[in-house]
């Protein structure tokens, strides 16, 4: 994934894949982690953010998600 602006740290590679790019072998992150990081960069708390789906409040990262701190500029 390529990210720019909004407080993300540029010019770096986080993690690595195998020789054919099929699986992450170093620092594997789940898509929920990326969602949490993007929401953080937008100024939203992914734990407190809810939206209505089929009449009930849901969180975008209900199944987990932690910030990828290496992608954030201090």
Which residue, chain included where needed, has tokens 């898509």?
Answer: 31
Distances (CA, A) of 45 to 11, 12, 53: 25, 25, 19
Q: pLDDT tens-digit profile of 18-46?
A: 899 898 888 888 888 888 888 888 888 88
37 with 68: CB under 8 angstroms?
A: yes
d(C-alpha 24, C-alpha 12), whole Å: 16
Which residue, chain included where needed, has tokens 């939203």?
Answer: 44
| pLDDT higher than 70, residue 74 | no
pLDDT average, residue stretch 37-65: 84
């Amino acid at each position: 994934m390529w990210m720019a602006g909004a407080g993300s740290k540029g010019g770096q590679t986080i993690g690595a894949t195998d020789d054919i790019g099929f699986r992450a072998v170093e620092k594997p992150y789940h898509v929920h982690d990326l969602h949490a990081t993007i929401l953080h960069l937008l100024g939203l708390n992914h734990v407190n953010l809810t939206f209505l789906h089929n009449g009930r409040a849901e969180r975008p990262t209900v199944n987990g998600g932690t910030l990828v701190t290496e992608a954030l500029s201090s």
